[in-house]
Amino acid sequence: MSNTVAVPYGLPMERDAGPFDPPRQITRLRETRPVSPMVFPDGHEGWLVTGYDAVRRLMADTRFSSRQDIGILHVPYETPGMPTATEPSPQMPGVFIAMDPPDHTRMRRTLTGAFTVKRMKQLEDHIIDVAERQLDEMARLTPPVDLVKEFALPVPSLVICELLGVPYADRDTFQVNSAKFLIKDQPLDEKMAAYGALSTYLAELVTHKRAAPGDDILSDLARDDDLTIEELTGAAFLLLLAGHETTANMLALGTFALLENPEQLAELRADPDLLPDAVEELLRYLSVADIFYRYATEDIELGGETIREGSTVVVSLLAANRDPQRFDNPDTLDIRRKARGHLSLGHGVHLCLGQQLARLEMRAGFEGLLRRFPTLGLAVPAGDVKLRTDMNIYGVHELPVTWTEASR
């Protein structure tokens, strides 16, 4: 490949432009060549797509296979010990984020009913309750506290556990093990060990549900005899992981971003009706699920470049969502912006299945937090907040916060 813009050691991930902004090198690439050739650490060549238009087109085009879209499981070429792939990875039964139609369609169809807008709307009061109870507990603590531990992680974990029928008491098993997948340079054998532990746990759970189904999503799936135990296990793994890590990071990083933008925060406190737009804008601005992988199944023209069959293509949703060709002043957090059209929940056949659930959780979470902690502030200098630059889902490892009054 001639004229390659080398990205020699994997993707630039250092947040050198600030905790909420894309790495400068990524922004430069978007400005100069939004579909850029890149070199992976092992010398393998591929493409990095950063422009909004190109990313959107790519995600709508199933000739770009998702069979390498396994950021969740292992990131090709970046995971130490990962063999060089020259063809799509073997499919993991049930993990439909990494499948193509028609296999993807079959698996996804079994679940769409459980996640419709209507079904989620019915859950709204319950989600508000979960958030309020968690805030009750937080209000009893003496600040400073870690908002991730006390609020951002428990709320979506409690909700997804209940929806899926996974005992919340077992959260250590899945929170610890799922976090291990998301560490970028975690060696492959350690990732596989974590996957082994989690899938053994989930296989037992779904086997039990098949024998004695209850009133939850995994039981509904288990009633479908067309699905094997391996497929049920894979689907449970995907839903559990996608269902808590993403929203948890949005809640914590979103709070950090609002605290760092006090005027926006004040506007939101003054007018909670702005919340739905603010959530959309935070999704766009933060793009916590940033990097996704695709694989070209034939030669494809994209953004004036020819992507050869067999190439690995890396997408940055964060870069796309900050493209000035699509959003005015893209690097400004503006809660009044109509940010719909952002790509933070994906686009095309893999569009986030849990998007309505995520929105409800964020609305309930931010609304309750801001109402009950009117004096919420960071308990450490912003520069000391530990950023998740080492993880596949971005956010903060901890968010120490403090307050002088909380309403119970």
| Residues of this chain that bind ligand HEM (CB under 6 A) | 59, 66, 69, 96-97, 108, 238-239, 242-243, 246-247, 250, 288-289, 292, 344-346, 350, 352-354, 357-358
Q: How far is the CB of 296 from ligand HEM (least distance, A)?
A: 15
Task: Report the residue number, 134 or 246, with the smaller CB distance to ligand HEM.
Answer: 246
Only one residue has tokens 């770009």, namely 64
Task: Report the residue number, 155 or 189, with the smaller CB distance to ligand HEM.
Answer: 155
Phi and psi angles of residue 13, each rounded to the nearest 5 degrees, phi first: -125, -10
Torsion from C-alpha of 319, 322, 327, 329, nearest 10 degrees: -150
Task: Report the residue number, 226 or 263, with the smaller CB distance to ligand HEM.
Answer: 226
Q: How far is the CB of 294 from ligand HEM (least distance, A)?
A: 8
Q: How far is the CB of 157 from ligand HEM (least distance, A)?
A: 11
Measured from each CB, the residue nearest to ligand HEM is: 354
Neighbours of 212 (CB within 10 A): 8
Q: How far is the CB of 134 from ligand HEM (least distance, A)?
A: 16
At residue 45's C-alpha, the angle toward residues 75 and 53, to 5°, is 80
Task: Report the residue number, 250 or 313, with the smaller CB distance to ligand HEM.
Answer: 250
Closest CA relative to residue 200, chosen from 225, 170, 164 = 170
The answer to whether 148 and 248 are in contact (CB under 8 A) is yes
- Name, in order, each residue with C-beta under 8 angstroms of 228's C-beta and a sequence gap of 6 or more: 93
Q: How far is the CB of 13 from ligand HEM (least distance, A)?
A: 17
- Name, in order, each residue with C-beta under 8 angstroms of 276's C-beta and a sequence gap of 6 or more: 359, 363
Q: How far is the CB of 52 from ligand HEM (least distance, A)?
A: 14
- Name, in order, each residue with C-beta under 8 angstroms of 184's C-beta and a sequence gap of 6 or more: 13, 75, 78, 79, 390, 391, 392
Task: Report the residue number, 191 or 294, with the smaller CB distance to ligand HEM.
Answer: 294
Structure tokens at 105: 């369609």
Q: How far is the CB of 112 from ligand HEM (least distance, A)?
A: 9
- As a whole number of angstroms, the distance between CA 306 and CA 296 comes to 10
Q: How far is the CB of 283 from ligand HEM (least distance, A)?
A: 6
Task: Report the residue number, 160 or 268, with the smaller CB distance to ligand HEM.
Answer: 160
Task: Report the residue number, 7 or 320, with the smaller CB distance to ligand HEM.
Answer: 320
Task: Report the residue number, 38 or 58, with the smaller CB distance to ligand HEM.
Answer: 58
Q: Are strands 312-316 and 377-378 parallel, antiparallel or unpaired?
A: unpaired
Find the radius of gyration of the CA atoms of the chain: 21
Torsion from C-alpha of 72, 298, 351, 148, nearest 10 degrees: 20
